[in-house]
Amino acid sequence: MSETSAGEISAEQVAHLANLARIDLSPEELESLTKELGQIVESVAKVQEVAGPDVPATSHPLPLTNVFRQDVVRPSLTVEQALSGAPEREGDRFSVATILEEE
């Protein structure tokens, strides 16, 4: 995968990202997405202007720490509730098509 300068994004990259995100894209979608994303990436890249090394990152707006739960069992969903949305099931398990890749 070739590196492009910040702000540009290639169709090849978009196809790779779509694969990472498990979304099929038609060729038309790929083309329009590449164009749109190029524009967006160009404008959002400006965050690098002010993100100096001395500025810490904030991932939580309000700083909390040590929020814990006691190791006490809480009621689970019933099996029927758990399976209620299953597109396909076999007995009490979710059924999926053959898996290509081992984990």
Partner 1 sequence: MANSTARKVQLMDYDRALELFEPALGFEVHVELNTKTKMFCGCANEFGSGANTNTCPTCLGLPGGMPQVNEKAIESSIRLGLALGCEIAESSRFARKNYFYPDLAKDFQTSQYDEPIAHDGSITIELESGREITIAIERAHMEEDAGKLTHVGGATGRIHGADHSLVDFNRGGVPLVEIVTKIIEGAEADAPEVGRAYVRVIRDIVKGLGISNARMEEGNVRCDANISLRPRGTTTLGTRTETKNVNSLRSIERAVRYEIQRQAAILEAGGTIVQETRHWHEDSGTTSAGRPKSDADDYRYFPEPDLVPVAPSREWVEELRGTLPEPPATRRKRLTAEWGFTALEFQDVANADLLDEVEATIAAGAGPAAARKWWTGEIARLANAQNVPAGTLVSPRHVAELAALVDSGTLTDRLARQVLEGVIAGEGGPQEVVDARGLAVVSDDGALIAAIDEALAAQPDVLAKIRDGKVQAAGAVIGAVMKAMKGQADAARVRELILERAAATE
Partner 2 sequence: MTDLTRLSASDLAERLASREVSSEEAVRAHLDRIEAVDADVHAFLHVAADKALRTAAEIDGRRAAGERLGPLAGVPIAIKDVLATEDMPSTAGSKILEGWLPPYDATVVRRLREADLVPLGKTNMDEFAMGSSTEHSAYGPTRNPWDLERIPGGSGGGSAAAVSAFEAPIALGSDTGGSIRQPAAVTGSVGVKPTYGGVSRYGAIALASSLDQVGPVSRTVLDAGLLHDVIGGHDPLDSTSLSDTWPSMADAARAGRREGALSGVRVGVIRELAGEGFQKGVKQRFDEALVLLESAGAEIVEVGAPSFEYAVSAYYLILPAEASSNLARFDSVRFGLRVNPSDPPVTVERVMAATRDAGFGPEVKRRIILGTYALSAGYYDAYYGSAQKVRTLIQRDFSAAFEKVDVLVSPSAPTTAFKLGEKIDDPMAMYLNDITTIPANLAGIPGMGLPIGLAPEDGLPVGMQLMAPARADARLYTYGSALERLLEEQWGHTLLSQAPDLSATEMFASEEGAV
Contact set with partner 1 (CB under 8 A): 1, 19-20, 22, 59-60, 63-74, 76-79, 82-83, 85, 90-99, 101-103
* Distance between CA atoms of residues 17 and 11, nearest Å: 10
Residue 8: CB atoms within 10 A of its CB come to 13
Q: Would you say 38 and 8 are in contact if contact means Cβ atoms under 8 Å apart?
A: yes
63: left (phi over 0), alpha (psi -120 to 50) or beta: beta
Considering beta carbons, is residue 51 or 64 the nearer one to partner 1? 64
Tokens of 84: 């209620």
Q: Which does 4 bind (CB under 5 to 8 A by kind): partner 1, partner 2, none?
A: none
Considering beta carbons, is residue 1 or 51 the nearer one to partner 1? 1
State the number of CA atoms in the 13 A half-sphere of 52 facing the CB. Answer: 3
Q: Which does 5 bind (CB under 5 to 8 A by kind): partner 1, partner 2, none?
A: none
- Summarize as ranges the residues that interact with partner 2 (CB under 8 A): 3, 6, 9, 13-14, 17-26, 29, 33, 36-37, 39-41, 43-52, 55-62, 64, 67, 69, 77, 81-82, 84-88, 94, 96-101
